Structure 1
C-alpha cells in the first residue's frame, strides 16, 4: 500500500535524531512535512535541509512539523543534523519502511550504473493525518519555500 492524496497515512513509528521516536498519530493536530532525501551530508541534501532549517520559524507559525528521512543510520543522521545545525529531527529509515510506504525508492542512474535509491520527494500531511500534497522528483532550489507556502495555505484553511 502506498499513500494517496486525500487518504489517511497509515500510522508509523520511526527512530529519529535526538534519541527520539516519531509516531505519526502523536502529531495529530499539527501539519507534518515529511521530506525524503538520498543521503546525509551530500551537497543537494545539505542545501535542502538548510532551506527547511532557515524557514522553521515560519513552518512553526503555520502549525507544521518538519521531518527529514533517509536510509542513513542514526549516527550519520545525528552527525548531519549537528554539523548543519538542523532544528528539526531526522529519521533513520534503514529498513526502508517509510520509503516503501511513500513509494520513493526508484531506479536511478549514476555514472552509467543503475541502482535503487531515494527519489527526492516531500509530503505534506494535514492535521487529521491525511496526505494533503506531494512533490516527487524534487529539484532543491526554491522547494522548501514552495512547501512552506502550501503549509501556510493549508493552515489558513483549517
Structure 2
C-alpha cells in the first residue's frame, strides 16, 4: 500500500525522543512535516536536521509540526537530538513500520555494494490528515526552505 497525494495518511503510532509516543490521528488540526533520513549523526542528516531546527519558529507560525524519522534506535536518536540541539522530536523506526507506510526503503549503492536503506524523503500532511506534498530523492541544500514555503502556502490557503 502506498500513500497518494490528496488521500488521508493511514494512522500510525511510533516511539520518539523525549519519551513520547506519536499517534498521527492525534495531530489533526496541525500540519505535519515528516522527513526521513538515512542515519543519525551522519553529515547530510546532521545538516538537514539543522536546517529544520533553524526554521522551527517559522514552521510553528505556519501551524506545522516537524518530525524526523530513521531506523536508528531511541538512544541513538536521543543522542543525535541532544548533540545537535534539535527542537523537535525524532522517531525511532527500527521495525520500519513508518518507513514502509511511506515507501522510503529503497535499494541503494554504497561503495559498490547494494543494500536496503532509507531514501531521503519528506512528506507534508495537511491539517485534515491528508498528504499534501511529497519530496523524494531529496538533496539537502535548500530543501528545508522549500518545505517551509509549501507549509506556509498550505497554511495560508
Instruction: Mark yes or no: TM-score above 0.5.
Output: yes
Any idea what the Cα deviations from partners look like across 1:13-55, whole Å, max 9, x if unmatched? 1000000001101100000000000000000000000000000
Any idea what the Cα deviations from partners look like across 1:81-127, whole Å, max 9, x if unmatched? 00000000000000000100000000000000000000000000000
- SS of aligned partner of 2:129: coil
> Which position in structure 2 is the counterpart of 1:25?
25
> Which position in structure 2 is the counterpart of 1:127?
127
> Which position in structure 2 is the counterpart of 1:67?
67
Gaps of 5+ in 1: none
How many residue pairs match? The answer is 157
> Which position in structure 1 is the counterpart of 2:116?
116
Gaps of 5+ in 2: none
Q: CA separation in 2, counterparts of 1:139 and 1:9?
A: 24
Q: CA separation in 2, counterparts of 1:73 and 1:24?
A: 20
Equivalent residue runs for 1:4-153 within 5 Å: 4-153=4-153
Q: What is the aligned-residue RMSD (CA, Å)?
A: 0.3
